[in-house]
A and B are shown apart, each in its own frame.
Chain A
Amino acid sequence: MNDDPTFIIPVGPVHPALKEPIQLVLTVDGERIVGVDVKCSQVHRGIEWLGMNRNNPIQSIYLSERVCGICNVCHPYCMVMAVEEAAGIEVPERADYIRTIVAELERIHSHLLWAGVAAHEIGFDTVFHYTWALREEIMDTIEYVTGNRVTKAIMMIGGVRRDITTERAERIKKATAYYLENFQKIADIFLHDKSIKMRTRNVGILTKEDALKLCAVGPVARASGVPKDVRQDAPYGAYAELDMKAITPDMYNGEIVGDVYDRIIVRLLEVKQSVELINAALDNMPSGEIVAEKNLVKLLAMLKRADGEGIGRVEAPRGEDIHYVRLEKGKEPFMSWKIRAPTYNNVLPWIPMLLGGEIADVPIVAASTDPCMSCLNRVTVVDESRNREFALTKEMMHEMSIRKTRRLMRND
């Protein structure tokens, strides 16, 4: 037996789920985590390559929707913004409003989805089912407005593909009213429930300095007190006219801890903010065209003649998303296309969040940055001192997490 009391626990890498498949290598001393290493990029679908070799720019819009099934408005939004900048296309004002509304609908769906998954991770399945039931209302609205529940296919270079007609606007109003009505209920569950507070307060802390140093983005950065939000800092779409402010947890209770609880506060307040933004955008929506060039053949010919580069920046539900596009005269596919998705930035902050924590907190801390939790599906524990190896599944980790909730409840 050797003297080193630490174990190494590799988490993953099997489940590649969202944009980045991830392997976490944890070094633990008993229950305490003393070392964390993150390994990304094991699975890769070659999306940028397809956009630069096979697809024409219009086909690439639909490809960029498949970068992520959850952020499937932000990625095409970002991409069309970059192409519009590169080709010098002016977007009609009404299209900007429609894009804003659809992007905010997506934020509500994504944050509710996250809230459910977070509740599941701490073993609170009732809340998981409750939030997902609430989420169905937004899915129905998205389906009514865009024609599909998940992939919305509404973005087009130079505008949008479908208008928000009066009936659609009414349907959206109905959904926003529903969420305003139920908001207090969700807020009560997530912010005042004793077991949620116990499992999230002072867990997975990311300090403001670390958030800045590691370039965290989106709700993770905001929960650590960094008021950065692309919608506020570099307004696109209709945000400049909608008076949008980045949400930090001190707006709710006057303090910033930077823990999982603060990330819950930020996301919940953002749901409410999105509802308000949608209502304001619907009320102020100008009339007019929804797309700069209706004829797709003409649009393609125009893009083929264009020469230049552009950058799109969009605040996705998980943080800042950036697309860089370069068009070359006479070449139909992009000359160059680079995507930087928000989870890429939010993975490194896992290291300071997890250090010093317990294994049972890994699911909720990792989930708090809103990555894909499927990465945790398989864990192997290697006990070097005893020279044996056994597998720790996600189910077992989940069990440990539930047991911790129960233990805390008893001791309280």
Chain B
Amino acid sequence: MCAKLTKALDKSLWVFHVNSGSCNGCDIEILAALTPRYDAERFGVHLVGTPRHADVLLVTGPVTRDMEEKLKRIYEMTPDPKVVIAVGTCGVSGGVFHESYNLVGPIDRVIPVDIYVPGCPPRPEAIIDAVVKAWLKLERLRGEGGEQ
């Protein structure tokens, strides 16, 4: 485990955050995970401005009809190997919004999801834990020749 992590840590993990119609509760918790109390940035986890730079997609929200196409495009724009994290109950299962006429989600109906973080909203610790899991998965993908 230790050796593995060292290998994975050879690069900082860059994260792109996509809001697919969330209420903003998860989004402020993602920001809280980056600010001094939890400070995920000390591990090199960095929020980037474009999916083309990202290793990990943090997706929040239940995916509304309007966001479906955009979410797919963002997924395609992210270079491989990549990991998708669904943050929040509504992204995982639809949550309180399930059965609504304007949803196409949950997220895994639109793009493949690797890690699910339930909670409405999940705590910053849970989000950081998901990012660490993403790290391990990315490392495995790289080991399988995902990276040139």
Contacts and interface: CB of A to CB of B under 8 A. Distances in A.
A18 B24 contact: yes
Given A16-B19, A129-B35, A45 B97 contact: yes
B36 interface: yes
A169 interface: no
Interface stretch (B4-12, B63-71, B109-117, B132-140): B63-71
Contacts of A151: 25, 120-121
A91 to B, nearest CB: 25
Interface in A248-283: none
Given A45-B62, A45-B97, A69 B26 contact: yes
A70 B29 CA distance: 10
B27 A69 contact: yes
B21 A150 contact: no
A133 B21 contact: no
A72 B31 contact: no
Contacts of A18: 23-24
The 4 residue pairs across chains A and B that have the minimum distance between CB atoms:
A69-B25, A395-B49, A132-B35, A46-B100
30 contacts: A14-B70, A16-B66, A18-B23, A18-B24, A43-B21, A43-B67, A45-B62, A46-B100, A46-B101, A46-B102, A47-B97, A50-B100, A54-B99, A69-B22, A69-B23, A69-B24, A72-B23, A129-B36, A132-B32, A133-B35, A133-B36, A136-B36, A149-B123, A150-B29, A374-B27, A377-B49, A393-B49, A394-B49, A395-B50, A396-B49
Given A43-B66, A44-B66, A72-B25, 15 more contacts: A16-B67, A43-B21, A44-B102, A45-B62, A63-B96, A66-B120, A68-B24, A69-B26, A69-B121, A136-B32, A136-B35, A150-B29, A150-B121, A151-B25, A394-B49
